[in-house]
Structure 1
């Protein structure tokens, strides 16, 4: 990797972590795109998993008192089952059609959400089903943050609760990737300089994002959240064609 490519990844790590620190999403998918352009294909997902584990853990720890733990405990066990089930039947097929399908479903959800207020406060059991589905889909889709996002933008959650609870759930998912890639023989130590630099930049970016979040009122936060989610949905749809 050239010094310029390394510098670009550090800047991308800082900016994308700041975005996720403010809105709780968008950064992971964007960073994945940058990594795909600059890193060898076999390196992208393992390195991205470590960086996103640190990024989400930093967000969750920084807003620890805002984590709605009853949602996390409902989400986590089915997510583990979903990952295990997908791993057991995985055949190497990435099932790329799932990405545009998820994008379309998210757009429909955003539209219906404005027409049906009940969708803004789904029952708690939904998070158990969500964990199972996201855990299963993560093997094929990779970045599943957009799938989670609509279910955490609840009317009864403060903006800090939205970000903290979603980050805690995502951190658990990324944590599962580490032993999986170790089992598959990936050498994380070989990429220590890259991982070290990215870990530092995403921590700094998360802290910057948190500082911005405290100055953001809820109405603007919801508007930005929905706008970013719409853009990510469109990216999932068109990304399969480019």
Structure 2
């Protein structure tokens, strides 16, 4: 049984870290999920970490989506919902026992480097709304295999035809969908959310508070600064993934 026991001091530190990372996501459009995942990895092993991180992110992204609900584009979110559900189901039942983390992470870091360092003459990755179905399949698979999905989704939101509020809102909804698929997936794999309920509730409340503070700050951030911060966060995430790849290859 994967039950996480933490001291009061550890819970306090983790609560502050999650509130901060949630606020960062609201301001930059990403990075918070990776920061949250990294902070939680200090205190718990990988299996309960991915499951608990998923539930906390459900509340985190649901709150952020609600605060920015006037900027939802359902034409891209609904196809993503179908795709992410399918991707998570395929991975849970057929793929997770056969696929390691190395190749999914390698593909992800290559996409990130293309987004960050492509010459100006090469196009941005602008996916038509209906084709977010395929982004959903990839994200649903990635969520079960490696946990954090921020960097993958960010690649498809580094685009100049959406406002910063639309990017944060719709990316948050997609993350909400993906993390929701983890709950039945990890129940199927034998994880008990009930036995970890206290920790999940405390961390989820911290994430919601952080999301609200971040959304309040977002209105004061210019679009140019927003994209600069998003690129910086994506670069940091790429560095972390490269480190993971090196560790897996050793």
Query: TM exceeds 0.5?
Result: yes
Q: Which runs of 5+ in 2 are unaligned?
A: 1-5
**Does residue 10 in structure 1 map to residue 27 in structure 2?**
no
SS in 1 for 2:124: helix
Query: In structure 1, how many angstroms separate the alpha carbons of the residues matched to 2:86 and 2:232?
Result: 32
* Partner residue, 1:22: 27
CA drift at 1:211: 1.0
Query: In structure 2, how many angstroms separate the alpha carbons of the residues matched to 1:131 and 1:120?
Result: 15
CA drift at 1:150: 2.1
Query: In structure 2, how many angstroms separate the alpha carbons of the residues matched to 1:131 and 1:49?
Result: 16
Query: In structure 1, how many angstroms separate the alpha carbons of the residues matched to 2:162 and 2:151?
Result: 18
SS in 2 for 1:143: coil
CA drift at 1:192: 2.2
Relative to the length of structure 2, the TM-score reads 0.89
* Partner residue, 2:204: 199
How many residues end up aligned between the 2 structures? 241
* Partner residue, 2:115: 109
> Per-residue displacement from partner, 1:25-45 (whole Å, max 9, x unpaired)?
111111111211111333211
What is the Cα-based RMSD across aligned positions, in Å? 1.8
- Evaluate the alpha carbon distance shift between residue 153 and residue 93 of structure 1 in structure 2; reply closer, same or farther with a 3 A threshold: closer
Query: In structure 1, how many angstroms separate the alpha carbons of the residues matched to 2:120 and 2:198?
Result: 46
1:38-77, aligned counterparts within 5 Å?
38-77=43-82
CA drift at 1:225: 0.7
* Partner residue, 1:215: 220
Q: 1:122 pairs with 118, 124, 127, which one?
A: 127
Q: Which runs of 5+ in 1 are unaligned?
A: none
CA drift at 1:154: 2.4
SS in 2 for 1:39: coil
Relative to the length of structure 1, the TM-score reads 0.92
* Contact in 1 for aligned 2:68/2:165 (Cα 8 Å): yes
